[in-house]
Structure 1
């Protein structure tokens, strides 16, 4: 699978999980906890393969505009993973505060996905050959499998 197809597949999964979380009520404490854990694991694996493999290849192949996109994408990852998600994970799932933080995380990630898919991926298709995208995709699939196995072992 090429790199872009793999990342889009991850985007679909995470958006679906975030939608389920946003649609849950404060009474669905167990469900919220499970969804949050799935979001955390899938988001961490996704952002890691982007940051380790895809983004550097994109930045290397591009020019000034791609470098700008690269750094913006890293900051969006940092905002979601280091700021919003940890706060959400420490919040009582039975509260309205949880609902508010879940909504903010969902909006942040949806904005990031939209920018990646409409700008970065479009540029990547022009900058990287089909072979390069396939090679990146293979490396990313392998790394993602390693990460998911590590997360399962740690759980």
Structure 2
């Protein structure tokens, strides 16, 4: 699977989990807790493989100021979601009335970020990186993601 397909599949999976979380009620404590843990693992693994493997390859092959802008904006969106909003949500009791609002903000951030990548960065990456490179990146990312997911799950387990 090439890098872009892998990342799009991740986007779809996380957006589905976030939608399920948004549809849940404060009384669904067990469901919210399980969904939140899945979201934590998926988001952390996804952002890590992007930052360690995909973004550096994109930046290295880029040759326009727009490429640099996309790269730095994507990193800042990861920081906003992963370092600010997600930890805040994880620290909020799932039955608390603030939980739904915080979950919605995370969903909106992730959706916006995924849309931008899919409409701007990925088409540009397809022009900058050939199929063989995208396939090679995809393999590296899949292996690293499997490693991260295992590690992240054991961190909580």
* TM bucket normalised to smaller: over 0.9
Question: Structure 1 residue 109 and structure 2 residue 110: aligned?
Answer: yes
Cα distance in 2 for partners of 1:89, 1:62 equals 36
Question: Under a length normalisation based on structure 2, what TM-score does the superposition of the two structures give?
Answer: 0.97
Q: Which residue of 2 aligns with 1:27?
A: 27
Cα distance in 1 for partners of 2:88, 2:153 equals 22
Instruction: Note the residue ranges of structure 1 that are not aligned, 5 or more in a row.
Output: none
Report the Cα offset of residue 28 of structure 1.
0.5
Q: Which runs of 4+ in 1 moved over 6 A?
A: none
Report the Cα offset of residue 151 of structure 1.
1.6
Q: Which residue of 1 aligns with 2:92?
A: 91
Question: Under a length normalisation based on structure 1, what TM-score does the superposition of the two structures give?
Answer: 0.98
State the superposition RMSD in angstroms: 0.7
Provide, for residues 64-118 of structure 1, a one-character-per-residue CA deviation record: whole Å limited to 9, x for no partner.
2111100000000000000000000111111220000000000000000000000
Cα distance in 2 for partners of 1:149, 1:34 equals 16
Aligned length: 155
Instruction: Note the residue ranges of structure 2 that are not aligned, 5 or more in a row.
Output: none
